[in-house]
Amino acid sequence: MPFLPSEPDNESMRACIGVNDLFSDIPPSVRLSCPPLTPPPRGDVEVERAVLGTVGANRPVVSFRGGGVYRHHVPAVVSSIVSRGEFATSYTPYQPEVSQGMLQSLYEYQCLMAELVGLPVVNASMYDWSTALAEAMLLCVRVTHRDAFAVPDTMSPQRRAVLGTYAAAAGVDIIDITHHPETGQMDLEHLAAVLGRPCAGVYIESPSYLGFFEEHVPDMAALAHDTGALLCVGTDPLSCGLARAPGSLGADVVVGEASHLGNPVTYGGPLLGLFAVRDDMALIRMMPGRLIGKTVDADGATGYVMSLQTREQHIRRERATSNICTNEALCAVACAAYLSYLGPRGLAGLAEALMANARYAMRRLSSLPGWEAPAYRSFHFREFVASSPVSPAAIDAALAPHGLAGGIPVGTHAALYCITDLHRRDDIDMLCTVLEGL
């Protein structure tokens, strides 16, 4: 962008203003000398060459890593929609009458996601799953005035770390709930014991970080609710094309990651944090983030606005429910376009294919000497822990020359493998061939 459009008129504009030094309010002691242009402005060709040159040190990879962030195919229709300048170069829709496109798209995101997770109130996005979870914890604390929050000890270390950061500032204790060693399922007896101390909320993940469905969610909901705690469920919304919606199993709050529904993974950012609550004004008024509401205009035509803004920082300041301002709106639009494109049968078909193909991968890996997949005896979605006779580091070292990356290390001899719609059967076969020779 070497050209500043008003530059040719600078002299006449300066003459109008009649001020010599527009920066004279800045103390001389901190004013830089503004040296001549070093380096000189660079044109498109140079910029493109430099960025692609730097990025050229990246190597293509077929990776079996997931754990809450997934590399999925992005349909061209979705990229085409979100590359529209009207969407991409707009700000937060503070003037609703000229921003109906963004507002309706975000409302549709809320509608589609509500149908998936089974809770009617979805906000217009959080930064990612981990911060959605941290905000869910803070919501539970605000609603219950309690200072403990129970989580599964099988949860993602990334999400656990972020939750810990936010909990420390809020003075909230995070309590781990253990799991059954063979099935990985949350230990209900331990949960009941943990709830001997009044907790603000109980958090579970299904599918869990380790890939299997929790099979006793209604029991966990009952245990939580009996002690006055809220149940927060973390999920991959893609699994809800097939699996029971957390909202129908007793969840008060649902959080999760939705970036893989229509967005490239781009080394983990931007992501798309999902946040949903029950239809309960006590929860809605305390929840973080933007909400888009349906209304009418002066002619009675249907239109959309940012609603219930009195929860937000620009109105409520230090008493706001969250400090979030900029969110992941465009990723949510991509998600709405993606879900519209897939439809209920496409989504179920995709979820079934992932399950079937993960099963194929488990069967192939289990056939290798000393390997066992899945390591936990439960129903898995599209991820699973594989235990191996060698360490994950040794596996990755062997795979790298072949352009492959194995699962996320979860133990000295175990890793979490993930299947997405970008894995071919050949990729899984190739993985097994290399591992067989280890």
Task: Please select the residue that binds other proteins; options are 140, 155, 355, 365, rule is CB under 8 A.
Answer: 355
Residue 326 touches other proteins, criterion: CB under 8 A: yes
> Which residue pairs from 304-309 have beta carbons closer than 8 angstroms and sit at least 24 positions apart in sequence?
304/96, 304/100, 304/103, 304/104, 304/106, 304/107, 305/96, 305/103, 306/92, 306/93, 306/94, 306/96, 306/103, 308/284
- Least Å from the CB of residue 109 to other proteins: 9
264 near other proteins (CB under 8 A): yes
Instruction: Tell me: does residue 57 bind other proteins (CB under 8 A).
Output: yes
CA dihedral 160, 163, 169, 171 (to 10 degrees): -80
Cα gap 26→3, rounded to integer Å: 26
Q: How far is the CB of 196 from other proteins (least distance, A)?
A: 28
The DSSP letter of residue 9 is G
The footprint of other proteins on residues 364-403 (CB under 8 A) is 379, 396, 400
Does residue 177 sit in helix, strand or coil?
A: strand
Cα separation, 407 vs 62, in Å, equals 11
Dihedral sign, Cα of residue 87, residue 89, residue 93, residue 97:
negative
Q: Of 140-148, 186-194, 327-335, 367-375, which part binds other proteins (CB under 8 A)?
A: 327-335
**Stretch in the footprint of other proteins (CB under 8 A) among 113-121, 143-151, 185-193, 224-232:** 113-121
Residue 300: HSE in the Cβ half-sphere, 13 Å Cα cutoff: 0
Contact between 319 and other proteins by CB under 8 A: the answer reads yes
Q: Does 20 bind other proteins (CB under 8 A)?
A: no
Count of residues interacting with other proteins (CB under 8 A)? 204
Q: How far apart are CA 198 and CA 134, in angstroms?
A: 19
- Name the minimum Å distance from CB 119 to other proteins: 8
**Rounded distance between C-alpha atoms, residue 61 and residue 68, angstroms:** 18
Binding mask 181-210 for other proteins (x = CB under 8 A): ------------------------------
- CB nearer other proteins, residue 195 or residue 263: 263
Asked if 122 contacts 245 with a C-beta cutoff of 8 angstroms, the reply is no
3-state SS of 313-331 is: HHHHHHHCCCCCCCCCHHH
Query: 26 forms bridges with which residues in the sheet?
Result: none
Among 142, 147, 158, 390, interactor with other proteins by CB under 8 A: 158
Which range of residues in 139-147, 165-173, 180-188, 430-438 is near other proteins by CB under 8 A? Answer: 165-173
Tell me how far, at minimum, the Cβ of 195 lies from other proteins, in Å. Answer: 23
Q: Could you say whether residue 41 binds other proteins (CB under 8 A)?
A: yes
Binding mask 82-111 for other proteins (x = CB under 8 A): -xxxxxxxxxxxxxxxxxxxx-xxxxx-xx
The one among 143, 200, 286, 339 contacting other proteins by CB under 8 A: 339
The reply on whether position 245 binds other proteins by CB under 8 A is: yes
Nearest to 349 by CA among 215, 242, 251: 242
Question: What one-character DSSP code corresponds to residue 186?
Answer: B
> Rounded to 5 degrees, what angle do the CA atoms 386, 392, 398 make?
110
- Which stretch in 139-147, 176-184, 196-204, 262-270 sits in contact with other proteins by CB under 8 A? 262-270
Part of the chain binding other proteins (CB under 8 A), chosen from 144-152, 196-204, 220-228, 315-323: 315-323
**Out of 208, 303, 387, 413, which residue is the one contacting other proteins (CB under 8 A)?**
303
Binding piece for other proteins, criterion CB under 8 A, among 43-51, 173-181, 194-202, 224-232:
43-51
Asked if residue 114 binds other proteins (CB under 8 A), the reply is yes
151 binds other proteins (CB under 8 A): no
Q: Does 269 bind other proteins (CB under 8 A)?
A: yes
Cβ-contact 391, 323 below 8 angstroms? no
